[in-house]
């Protein structure tokens, strides 16, 4: 099937339309479900990894996140007041992050 510059055999040769050129009759439910299952699998793996990171480094990451938020809030306030962030503030932020990360 051809639609404009699209040739179905070129873009849909693996059983599923990726370019929108095929009619709905050629929709491949199996392929779509396979892709959905793979994304679900990866989401579960990602969640497990997040849980492992939280268990291993959660307290340290809480400190890092708090430091980053406090810095951003100070930076926004300074930029609103005088249009820039003081170099001293930036250096202090880097020092705090290094300490929180154990450097």
In tens digits, the chain (103 residues) has pLDDT values of 444 555 555 666 665 666 666 655 678 899 999 999 999 999 999 999 999 999 999 999 999 999 999 999 988 888 878 767 678 888 888 999 999 988 7
pLDDT value at position 31? Answer: 93
Q: How many residues in total does the chain contain?
A: 103
Name the residue range of residue 42's domain: 2-100
Number of domain units in the chain: 1
- pTM score of the predicted model: 0.52
């Amino acid at each position: 099937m051809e639609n404009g510059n699209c040739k179905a055999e070129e873009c849909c040769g693996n059983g599923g339309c990726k370019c929108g050129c095929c009619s709905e009759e050629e929709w491949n439910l199996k392929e779509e479900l396979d892709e959905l299952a793979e994304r679900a699998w990866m989401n579960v793996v990602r969640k497990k990894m997040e849980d492992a990171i939280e268990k291993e480094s959660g307290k340290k990451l809480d400190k890092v996140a708090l430091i980053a938020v406090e810095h951003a809030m100070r930076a926004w306030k300074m930029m609103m007041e005088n249009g820039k962030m003081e170099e001293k503030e930036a250096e202090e932020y880097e020092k705090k992050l290094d300490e929180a990360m154990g450097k």
